[in-house]
Amino acid sequence: MPLWASLTPIVAAALLIAALLLPGSLALAIACVAALLGAVIAAVHHAEVIAHRLGEPFGALVLAVSITTIEVALIVTLMLTGGPDQATLPRDTIFSAIMIACNGVIGLCLLVGALRHQEQEFRVVGNNAALAALVALTTLSLVLPTFTTSSAGATYTSAQLSFAALASLLLWGTFVFVQTVRHRDHFLPIENRSDEQTHAATPSAATAWISFGLLFVALTAVVGLAKLLSPSIETAVAAAGAPKGVISVAIALLVLLPETSAALRAAWADRLQTSLNLALGSALASIGLTIPAVALTSMLIGVPLVLGLDAKDLVLLLLTFFITLITFVSGRGHVMMAAVHLLILGAFLFLALVP
């Protein structure tokens, strides 16, 4: 186990305790920001160790639940501190995660793969299944609330929200079963048809238990640091004159950073299918698990949720899904499609700053 992965959660927890005992220190606040980033990366690392030990499908569940716990912790913390003013935060964060995963991660992986290998192959059937699930989940959770009439604005009633949360959880669970059990071969790299997938040595039981303990410490530190830093983050965004949506983009970037790194390494190693699995899997987990958790939190604490996207975001979402479908049709990745995806990402980021 890397030394940084062992020390980072402990250091983050220590800085959290120090910040609670000694509030108001600028140097300590900067250190807490760095510790928050480190704790997120360390949490994902330890989740991957546990996932590797358990094997599929339970390993994938551990990894997805761990990452989503971080995302939900950040969203719920900001909702609790901001109250009704943060009613759109879950929607904006999930939408940002989808845009970054489908345009940023996929675009960068296509670019990296094209620069080194010119053209790479991937499996159409598995990617289409993932995209179909993502389109259905996104439409149900982020598009339909704009057009329903039982409640005012782009919101769901309690019954509608409960249905959307349950449907999201069931469809995500079905996809995980298909990806890891029933049709696992549809998601394996093409060059490894015979031996399925190249893995590192399986960690020992002792290593897995250590990672489990450190994962708990890291997630606790992330939740605590996020709650501690959320007022400062909102103040900094307001002082810079940036729209509130920038906070959602920052959360999505933070959560997807470790997955993006792993996806780029896979693309460089000519395993584009693995990169696409990571990108689409992150987007699916982001919406499939976050919507139920946030819906439950909203109903328990009475904080409203505005889930429906506005017209500008609907156009960007439709464009993203259309281009992603075109990318997957050929079964080959090259630099042209990389440029298109990255251009859409650039438009999304620019319009987040200049709506």
Residue bearing the bigger pLDDT, 45 or 227: 45
pLDDT > 70: what percent of the chain?
92
Give the torsion sign (CA, 143, 76, 176, 256). positive
pLDDT at 110 (0 to 100): 93
133 has a pLDDT exceeding 60 = yes
Q: Which of 54-63, 142-151, 185-194, 337-346 has the lowest mean pLDDT?
A: 54-63
pLDDT of residue 243: 81
pLDDT of residue 153: 83
Q: What is the pLDDT of residue 58?
A: 60
Q: Per-residue confidence at 76, pLDDT binned at 50, 70, 90?
A: confident
Query: Is the distance from CB of 299 to CB of 122 less than 8 angstroms?
Result: no
Local confidence band at 60 (pLDDT 50, 70, 90 cut-offs): low
Measure Cα distances from 255 to 64, 264, 308 in Å.
Answer: 11, 16, 22
Contact between 286 and 68 (Cβ < 8 Å): yes
Mean pLDDT for the stretch of residues 28-39: 87
At residue 78, does pLDDT exceed 90? no
Pair 104, 345: CB distance under 8 Å: yes
Question: In the beta sheet, which residues pair with residue 120?
Answer: 333
Q: Is the pLDDT of residue 83 over 90?
A: no
Section 248-268 average pLDDT: 80
The SS3 of residue 14 is helix
What pLDDT is recorded for position 55?
Answer: 61
Report the distance separating Cα 68 and Cα 4, nearest Å: 22
Whether the predicted pLDDT of 74 surpasses 50: yes
The structure's pTM equals 0.83
Alpha-carbon gap, residue 15 to 242, rounded angstroms: 28
pLDDT at 185: 77
Its sign, for the CA torsion 253, 86, 65, 140, is: negative
- In angstroms, the Cα distances linking 181 to 176, 185, 266 are 8, 9, 22
Q: b vs e for 309-333, b when ≥16 Cβ sit within 10 Å of the residue's Cβ?
A: beeebeebbeebbebbeebbeeeeb
Reference 39, options 75, 6, 61; nearest CA is: 6
Q: Does the bond joining 57 to the residue before it have cis omega, within 30 degrees of 0? A: yes
Extract the tokens encoding 28: 């300590």
Q: Which CATH class is domain 3-353?
A: mainly alpha
pLDDT of 242 reads: 76
Left (φ > 0), alpha (ψ -120 to 50) or beta: where does 118 sit?
left
What does the DSSP 8-state code read for residue 25? -
Can you give the three-state secondary structure of 161-209, one letter per residue?
HHHHHHHHHHHHHHHHHHHHHHCHHHHCCHHHCCCCCCCCCCCCHHHHH
Task: Give residue 72's identity as a one-letter amino acid code.
Answer: V
pLDDT at 338: 93
Residue 194 confidence class, pLDDT cut points 50, 70, 90: very low
**Alpha-carbon span 98 to 102, nearest angstrom:** 6
Tell me the domain boundaries of the chain.
3-353
